Amino acid sequence: MISRPILALAAASFGIGTTEFVIMGLLPDVAGSLHVTIPQAGYLVSGYAMGVVVGAPIVAIATSGLPRKTALLALMALFIIGNLGCALAPSYGLLMAARIVTAFAHGAFFGIGAVVASDLVPREQRAQAISLLFAGLTLANVLGVPFGTALGQAAGWRAAFWAVVAIGVIAGLAIVRYIPAGLPGNRGGLAREFRALGRWSVLLPMLISTLASTSMFSLFTYITPLLEDVTQISPRGVSGVLLMIGVGFTVGNLVGGRLGDRNLLRTIVGGFIGLIAVLVALCFASRSIVPTLPLLILWGGLVFALVSPLQIWVVDAATDAPNLASTLNQGAFNLGNATGAWLGGIALTAGANYQQLPLLGALVAVIALSCALTTLFNPRVMPVAIRPAE
């Protein structure tokens, strides 16, 4: 199952995940070096996320006619250039621009990479293949971000981006060596691809992807103050909890891929039911570390168990436009990132406390579950290839 082509894609995924999140551990260093405030440096995180949202359709259209291997290599080149810009940026504005350039490669790489990964394995193993692609992203939270943060703090924040450039070069060479050259790009024209995107059967899983990510980031954005102020964990202890959540991400992602290949709809519905239960429990249990830690690990696992099943749903729903639909679904996930952070902020401004944020995530997950359950009453929105077994 773990073939060299998929490992090459996972290596690129690891680099992309590291560059996306490592900046959060280096905000004070970046702010001091470029003479901006820490909140201003924080915009480098949201700027990247919006770069993914905006860049996903643009880059998907630009690469739609390219063979998939060529498109992946072009995206890795853009990724390397963007991180070189980050490492060399002499000012805050140029660093923001370089982050956005890097983000443009993000959505399209995961979108096209998911299609390639699913094409390289038997049909009954496609969700697992996509989960292995995303394993690079989850491992970035466990290994890449802590290592990059430590490197940046020891050798200067630019060193972290130089390390990511090296990862990008290695991943690019692996793609050259191991990804087959005979995978065609879009042959049906952009008009046909956009017509496919207008179908509710394609838009529904994208909506659910957005809601899943919104639920996650309505809590995850504020996880540090929740742990420090409610659970009364020290800043050093918070780092350990975040590491364990990253382990939950990784394990849940792999388990979700395996279960998704067995029964896709049941995995998605069961994942949301479990997510709702854990979030409600977390609201009442978060004052003590003993229940909070296992609940957060389980929460992380359930969140990422949904990623590859939702991605394969989109790919199968848009068989005549897989590259564009798969890429736009990455934009949907990142739109959820920004929306979740915004909703959490709105709730806190309105008077909610950190302990109540899991209930907000649970409410959004209930909406997502309701959307998924509509397929039981209208099976036509679920492609035949991934309908639950009779």
Q: What digits encode the pLDDT tens for the residues 104-129?
A: 998 889 888 888 888 888 878 888 88
- Average of pLDDT values for 319-348? 82
Question: What CATH number does the domain located at 1-185 have?
Answer: 1.20.1250.20
Residue range(s) of every CATH 1.20.1250.20 domain in the chain: 1-185, 188-390
Q: Which pLDDT does position 188 carry in this prediction?
A: 55
Interior CA angle at 317 toward 315 and 320, to 5°? 75
Residue type, position 173, single letter: L
Q: Which pLDDT does position 388 carry in this prediction?
A: 47
Contacts (Cβ under 8 Å, ≥6 apart) of 362 = 215, 275, 276, 279, 280, 283
CATH H superfamily, domain 188-390: MFS general substrate transporter like domains (1.20.1250.20)
Q: For residue range 352-373, what is the model confidence (pLDDT) as tens digits?
A: 898 999 999 999 999 999 999 9
353 backbone φψ class: left, alpha, beta (φ>0; ψ -120 to 50): beta
Using pLDDT thresholds of 50, 70 and 90, give the confidence band for residue 194.
Answer: low
Closest among 9, 103, 12 to 58, alpha carbons compared: 103
Sign of CA dihedral 207, 260, 54, 52: positive
Compute the distance between CA of residue 332 and CA of residue 11 in angstroms, rounded to an integer: 23
C-alpha distances in Å from residue 58, one per residue of 191, 241, 291: 15, 37, 44
Q: For residue range 140-190, what is the model confidence (pLDDT) as tens digits?
A: 878 887 888 788 888 889 999 999 999 999 999 999 999 988 776 665 555
Q: Which pLDDT does position 22 carry in this prediction?
A: 83
C-alpha 257: how far from chain center: 15
Residue type, position 341, single letter: A
- If you average pLDDT over every residue of the chain, what do you get? 86
Q: Which pLDDT does position 369 carry in this prediction?
A: 96
- Average of pLDDT values for 257-269? 90
